[in-house]
Structure 1
């Protein structure tokens, strides 16, 4: 990663592109957004492939929501270039936004209207929405987010999770080329979270690019194909999820009754022995974990263990989790909502 935050793939430098710029749904070049003397977004080069589910991660105050607001024309950039769906922003705002659905900073609705009434009114305010199909599209959107049973209920009686679902339905009232979702699973129970995850995947399978800002790393790992990580206004990494994981330290896990002997061999190989369960290297715990593979082939590690008489009940090499990579890149935990 370089200090400008330019990273078209994990560790990449220069302008953020992934092949032909026409293959990108979102592209920024040295995007800066200042508030007074403070740079909330500091020269980021973002590259979001078309058809991807792109997870946008970062600690509180890292610049995620500010970036989204600039992308959608809700805030102006201090400097740099922005392209959305292949067109320059904000010059092409009027032609781009009809193809973009968004749920940003929580949904806002008329509390005295029903779910159906809110969506009907919002759709009527969209000059690009055909009135002839309005009722059918509203019913379809409510069904897709699991709100058909509450369609006639006033929104003031909705829970936070139901309002979040209604916000998703509003974003999908018309076919979109790009969906921008800020914390889409906020307030949802586990079943609702799974449903949103399935919905996002189905949208991407149909060709819609989905840009998801979230602090729930486990959800991002299950939902997203690509990830970008923000820290202090800079984009410190981005690229395919698997590349981001594999760029971190791998773990070697050895299942063995010979814990002390295994630890000695791993140390000799330049690996750092530890314990997979966090309880120390004891004979009562047969899972020995070593951080880093240190250039060794897995079979060479196994051969060294066997040569020293270590009994092996199991051997695996695990890539770093997204949480581990997030902490290593930002130096912070992951309870983030920025």
Structure 2
């Protein structure tokens, strides 16, 4: 079994009488790009703050890189890079000066290699050309990349990124995605929090889904897809009769702007697409097209959370 970079048992955070995070068991394998997905307000950032020792858990256990948090924070956190709730920067300092100051505050780093490491981090996130520009003149996307550069000032075994593509234009989003892939290829475990379904699909191999403070799903993308409900799409001029046949099989039908296309979820246990097609043919429905598809991740996540997701950046 693969080692775990992050593991929690019964992790809970209560504010007053409200459980913001309710007893979650996370398991993040080392070397993966792991997506922590959920609508805004679902408890993702609070969970991350507890993982990093920035907020005290009400109950539960946290293991980070084989250390117990917060007990082993001094030994563990130098091996972890993080961007939480957007970058905190000095607006009237340049990008390079910001990173130099952040690095100087880290007692584990060497002053003799500071300038080289700062410049390397800026280049890696695509800000080398803007290193001397004052940070208040940076776009939101540039500020986000500066925060990621701060997390990369020293070699990291684990990188925790809270909404890393927030505010980025398509080019900036692509750059961050490629950066995450290159870091993963180097062996770094990446834990990415996001409410953007499309980004998680493109970056991550495994995901956990939060909803209202609870962990409602966890596994590979393929596993989550396989748990969804397949759909059929029928193209026919006999759409009224087709709907009657599908209703007789216990299926709810939909139309999407074309009268000759009828779709339905295969929500009846054991009902196969070929059975649906045979029933249409027996009823003399002229089937001009018949397609089946697995459940989309969007459908699966809406089913799990009861809420919609942003599906594009």
* Partner residue, 1:29: 9
Does structure 2 conserve the Cα–Cα contact (< 8 Å) formed by 1:55 and 1:224?
yes
**Is residue 308 of structure 2 the alignment partner of residue 319 of structure 1?**
no
**Is residue 271 of structure 2 the alignment partner of residue 296 of structure 1?**
yes
Segments of structure 2 that go 5 or more residues without pairing to the other structure are: none
* Partner residue, 1:334: 309
Q: Normalised by the size of structure 2, how large is the TM-score?
A: 0.90
Structure 2 counterpart of 1:225, from 205, 208, 214: 205
Displacement of 1:161: 1.1
Q: Which moved more, 1:37-46 or 1:122-131?
A: 122-131
Deviations 1:78-127 (A, max 9, x none): 11111111221111111111111100011011122111111122123223
Does structure 1 conserve the Cα–Cα contact (< 8 Å) formed by 2:197 and 2:310?
no
CA distance in 1, matches of 2:186, 2:259: 47
In the alignment of these two chains, the number of paired residues is 310
CA distance in 1, matches of 2:287, 2:111: 68
Segments of structure 1 that go 5 or more residues without pairing to the other structure are: 1-19
RMSD (CA atoms): 2.2
Please give the secondary structure, in 2, of the residue aligned with 1:137: helix
- Aligned pairs for 1:49-64 (under 5 A) are 49-64=29-44
* Partner residue, 2:250: 270
Q: Which moved more, 1:119-128 or 1:168-177?
A: 119-128
Does structure 1 conserve the Cα–Cα contact (< 8 Å) formed by 2:81 and 2:156?
yes
CA distance in 2, matches of 1:171, 1:269: 55
Please give the secondary structure, in 1, of the residue aligned with 2:166: coil
Please give the secondary structure, in 1, of the residue aligned with 2:21: strand
Q: Which moved more, 1:104-113 or 1:310-319?
A: 310-319
Does structure 1 conserve the Cα–Cα contact (< 8 Å) formed by 2:228 and 2:300?
yes
- Aligned pairs for 1:1-338 (under 5 A) are 20=1, 23-275=3-255, 277=256, 279=257, 284-292=258-266, 294=268, 295-334=270-309
Displacement of 1:306: 4.0
Please give the secondary structure, in 2, of the residue aligned with 1:28: strand
Q: Which moved more, 1:115-124 or 1:262-271?
A: 262-271
CA distance in 2, matches of 1:39, 1:108: 28
CA distance in 1, matches of 2:124, 2:280: 54
CA spacing shift, 1:120–1:80, aligned 2, 3 Å: same
CA spacing shift, 1:286–1:83, aligned 2, 3 Å: same
